Amino acid sequence: MVQTLTRRLVVGLIAVLIDLQAESQRRSSDSVTCDGEKMSPGDVCMAFGKGAAGRGGTYEEMKAKQVAAVQPDKLRTDDLIWRFVAIVPLLISAALFISVIAMFIAVARAPAGRRSLAAANGWDYVRKHPTLAGEAGLFKPYLASQIAATDVVTGERRGYQFLIFTYRDMDKSEQAAFRVTLPIGLPFMWVNGSSEFPFSSDTDRGVQAWLAQKLGIVPVKNGASPMRFWAQDNRLVRVVSVQSRPGKIADQLDATVNLAERLMKAARETVAEAEARKA
């Protein structure tokens, strides 16, 4: 995420400079005029009255004044339209810069937050694991070629074994993964967080119907987005932005465990319903 926002910031600043430079070159090539009439080399523009010295001159002098008046710095400060064009992207870039700093601070503080949370609950903390992201069962679209994990917390929450760790996704942005081990295996399911199209195309239609019935996850246009998660066999995974505060990390863990409990309750109900039909 930090890298992505940084790229956007740089691109935004470059775009402003390129646009101003292009406009400056275009205006510099415009014809030189005197009182609305096009001038040619050798012509002299005669001006009278107050400020005449600044309005008149030879063709070469008028051309030099024209070029000087449309330099990028002059456009940025003197031309109303280009003042607006320059300011808006700069404001956007400033907002992106603040986002970069905020994300950088969150990522930088994540180790301390997870260490604190682990110590307070008697969980284990490891600063870095060279292969955990590749071994943790992350769904491939979540995972880049790098399989190292950092700031790993392992423990048990309300009877569920869990893993928390940071890894780099396909965009090489740092993400936080919360993985819970389930007591009952589940078929493949991927809820992608879209309200209108909540399921991945490779989530079986029967599974989609089951999630709609048991968890109320149904396609709704312009509705509230469902929680993003992926599950298969005994693995339930949620991927969220990196949090630095112990309380926020604990909230995400509890949200994952709550989801696990709902899925397990639904699975047990389904098994009981199937047995009842057989009886």
Per residue in 187-214, pLDDT tens?
999 998 888 899 988 899 999 999 999 9
Whole-Å CA distances, 111 to 6, 114, 166: 22, 5, 10
Question: ∠174-180-181 over CA atoms, to 5°?
Answer: 135
Per-residue pLDDT at 106 exceeds 80: no
Residue 194: per-residue pLDDT: 86
Residue 105: per-residue pLDDT: 47
Rounded to the nearest integer, the mean pLDDT of the chain is: 79
Q: What is the pLDDT of residues 143-198, one digit of tens each?
A: 666 788 899 999 999 999 999 999 887 777 888 999 999 999 999 999 988 888 99
pTM of the model: 0.62
